[in-house]
Amino acid sequence: MFKDVYFSPIYVKSLIKIILKLIINDECGTFNISCDNRISKYKFAILVANIFKLDKSYIKSVSLNNFKMVKRPKNMYLINKKIKQKLNFKKIDIIDEIVSLKKYYLKNFKIFNKYQ
């Protein structure tokens, strides 16, 4: 996982709720919908593994610079201040997002029940 590529992920169920609120409120414009946190792909994978109690030894830290591929931005972090103001949200936290994902999987997929 890239240690030097940053983003601000959001759980798809949260994304859907936010989009529906924008539609219901008849909001127009361009909005960055993301969590508040800027995190590297590597640290995100470690965080998910910790919350899901998965083996982190499979996650390796690498630099994007070590790969010859199409140029990609290293910083894909989005500032979500506008969406939070429009919808009166205090925070969209990455840990809350991952915990919500885990709860969904524990409820809906028996294979993950051992991670309770």
Residues linked to residue 23 through DSSP beta bridges, in sequence order = none
19-23 contact pairs (CB < 8 A, 24+): 21/87, 22/86, 22/87
Residue that wins the pLDDT comparison between 48 and 115: 48
The closest of 60, 28, 47, 63 to 97, measured between CA atoms, is 47
Summarised one tens digit per residue, pLDDT across range 36-75 is 999 999 999 999 999 999 999 999 999 999 988 888 899 9
Mean pLDDT, residues 77-85 taken together = 96
pLDDT value of residue 31: 96
What's the pLDDT score for residue 111? Answer: 62
